[in-house]
Chain A
């Protein structure tokens, strides 16, 4: 049984294909697919872009309206997967088990985000997939001009929109 794949169709940029690690991150994979299949990611933006670090999306519509999410999921960061370049990880607050819909794509090797201990400080960010096609599109996204919108920093000045997310 091969790992599930999802296409992110990004307006004006192209398609990024993600492979989800159902074996090592089963809950995050199931959670992500659930959001994909109910169309949650359609018309969301990459709202936080920091070159050399990560690009984050899946939570806000253009105009920075936050979309409702389902219940948070358990943090699977101790699955051994590392926050290396082009991996996908669940975004969350400082609460280890607060991830819901938002995710980020690492655009560098961010070892400091890896799990070190099951404590508030050591939990890390759960990697659940990787970009298998379209890394050049991720590179283009990380290079867009960003600025402050209201009280949000690092927001692309021109919206980077996920037109639709499709499970293959």
Chain B
């Protein structure tokens, strides 16, 4: 039987959700017998292939135009999109800045912090991704098939979700594996 193909990427995030994925420990070996990882932030191939994949996993919130493009590409190229973790599902910690205007946030960070030297400016370069006015959960920019909240989701929760998929079922996360923090 052909292996299930998986692509993953991270957006605005601390990367803790991918750490939690690694926390499934020795079960990783078992998992790799059934799945093939096509792209991820820590492999050579960063983009999901044009031919597409079965499962796309995104962690993190959508905070800038680059992340928006990553999310859109992943949605386009995967059959099932999983939003993994609170930032991906709700906006999470990243969404704290939504209680302020984006100009104020940039000014505070690059100009006004106590440790900043005088007369600094907010960096402007076409190479730097532009912040969106508001941090968004992934389901605010593209359709999401499965939400796995948690800061981070537990390793057991991630394992449950992946094995359900491998068994051909759409996972329904039970109450004991559902967590928001």
A-B interaction? no
**Residues of A in contact with B (beta carbons under 8 Å apart):** none
